Amino acid sequence: MQKRENLQKQTPSQVVETIEIDLLLEAIFRFYGYDFRNYARPFIQRRILQRVQKENLTSISALQEKILRDPIVMNGLFSDFSINVTEMFRDPSFFKSLRTNLIPLVKDYPEIRIWHVGCSTGEEVYSMAILLQEEGLYEKTKIYATDINTSVLEKAKKGTFSLADMQLYTKNYLLAGGTRAFSEYYQVVADQVVFHPDLQKNVVFAEHNLVTDSSFHEFDMIICRNVLIYFNKCLQNDVHQLLYESLSLSGFLGLGKREGIRFTSYGTCYEEFNQAERLYRKFK
């Protein structure tokens, strides 16, 4: 009923576009198994229309026909739906809070399990590995870094990034409380840098779909930053259930600056560890 009321508020062309998007997402789910039906509609709509332009098509329906017949076009749309905005020590104050406030509370754990959700090309995973190494905890830590996009995971496994980004990454590292020269962690090869293999030895990169896949471990810390903002409220709640079930009692959950836990079904299950940095601790 709510959906029908929303359609009645739209112009005829908007109604057609809404129906086309619904049919496209349903077709993707049925044919390829990827479920984008509960992603935030403005985001999905924007990316679909951009792909229509890139393919020189005249309608979303034409795009639907093309992706069902041409997997290469589907790969392009899939990449459009995958958010890969990241950088090393992104939001340095978040990593500074981990270093100064959270790490002291877990340093005596016999082992530490961390899940990086939506790890993209891995910059923040390597950032965590560096932080843990400097705090003397990396040897007893296992980091599971997951993403829906296998191509970005392959890049993450290589640990190779642009030399041009190192000035920004060095600044972030220092603001996050880094204790060494950042250049000690990588080697320069032409216009690329390759991070030391030791930073990967306790990291497992793996494909995982938040929409369709279940919990696969119990974690002491889950980092899920700037992921939930691309989902609608229904899907956000489903993902919060997955994160809650995957987190050990007294475990920590780190969200993005525009995300929170208060108005979800699990808001009463966490205490605010650092509200400014969207860090929470599970207490029931």
CB 210 within 8 A of CB 227: yes
> Distances in Å between the alpha carbon of 143 and those of 113, 122, 231?
6, 11, 25
Whole-number pLDDT of residue 3: 56
- Regarding predicted confidence, which is higher, 82 or 99? 99
Backbone angles phi, psi at 108, to 5 degrees: -95, 0
14-57 confidence digits (pLDDT tens) = 899 999 999 999 999 999 999 999 999 999 999 999 999 999 99
Whole-number pLDDT of residue 83: 79
Euclidean distance between CA atoms 89 and 92, whole angstroms: 5
Confidence tier at 5 by pLDDT (50, 70, 90): low
Read off the pLDDT of each residue in 64-71 and give the average, rounded to a whole number: 96
Average pLDDT, the chain: 94
97-134 confidence digits (pLDDT tens) = 999 999 999 999 999 999 999 999 999 999 999 999 99
221-248 confidence digits (pLDDT tens) = 999 999 999 999 999 999 999 999 999 9
Cα pseudo-dihedral 66, 155, 120, 242, rounded to 10: 90
pTM for this prediction: 0.91
pLDDT at residue 9 is higher than 80: no
Share of the chain above pLDDT 70, in %: 97
Q: Can you tell me whether residue 210 is helix, strand or coil?
A: coil
Pairing of strands 270-274, 219-224: unpaired
Whole-number pLDDT of residue 1: 47
Read off the pLDDT of each residue in 147-173 and give the average, rounded to a whole number: 96
Whole-number pLDDT of residue 8: 65
Confidence tier at 82 by pLDDT (50, 70, 90): confident
Edge-to-edge strand order for the sheet containing 192-195?
Answer: 160-162, 192-195, 186-189
pLDDT at residue 265 is higher than 80: yes
Whole-number pLDDT of residue 172: 98
pLDDT at residue 174 is higher than 60: yes
Whole-number pLDDT of residue 6: 63
